[in-house]
Amino acid sequence: MSNHVFRPLIVVIGIVALILVARYFYVPKDFGTYERGYMYSWHRKGDEEFWRNFKIKYQGKEYCKDCHADKYASINKSPHRIINCENCHGPAIDHPSDTRPKLAIDKSREQCYRCHVKLAYPTSDRVKIKGFTDPEKHNPKMECVVCHNPHSPKLGGA
């Protein structure tokens, strides 16, 4: 009683087998369940390595200290000591190098506006920062740094 009724089932099983074979070649070997279990860490383990090796751009304030000791010292005497060098000078990455001999400085008015536009916000430390209510009225079209040295911003001496 050769029952032909199961033939479609055999075709289906064949297709499933093909998919499983394809899967063996397609899925990376380190794909699986890890420390946080199936729900939260079903992944390709090698990806963690990718993110750990992602290129670091910002090197931090201490990176600049050795070569630029004078600038480092001058800003440390001013209220701007709290600002990281790279916030205005851009990320150091591998500076100094052939590809990056100098860093481009952001000297725009908008950079200073970030803090020095007056916002009368009673419950925020913003209110403690000196600023202009209407900065466009104060020497417009001129860069702030023409008169105010960011490393010692107080006019008339450090």
Query: How many residues contact another protein, by CB under 8 A?
Result: 62
| Token couple for 119 | 């916002």
Which region, judged by CB under 8 A, interacts with another protein, from 70-78, 87-95, 97-105, 137-145?
87-95
Binding letters toward another protein, positions 23-62, x by CB under 8 A: x--xx---x-xxxxxxxxxxxx--xx-xxxxxxxxx-xx-
Q: Which residues contact 143 (CB under 8 A, 6 or more apart)?
A: 107, 108, 109
Q: Is 77 in the site for another protein (CB under 8 A)?
A: no
Q: Is 147 in the site for another protein (CB under 8 A)?
A: no
Q: Is 76 in the site for another protein (CB under 8 A)?
A: no
Closest CA to 66 of 98, 104, 92, 88: 92
Single-letter amino acid, residue 129: I
Q: Is 139 in the site for another protein (CB under 8 A)?
A: no
| Token couple for 118 | 């007056």
Closest CA to 155 of 78, 103, 84: 78
Instruction: Tell me which residue has tokens 């992602």.
Output: 54
β-pair partners for 117: 132
Judged by beta carbon, residue 104 or residue 146, the one nearer another protein is: 104
Selected binder of another protein within 17, 18, 19, 158 (CB under 8 A): 19
Q: Is 113 in the site for another protein (CB under 8 A)?
A: yes
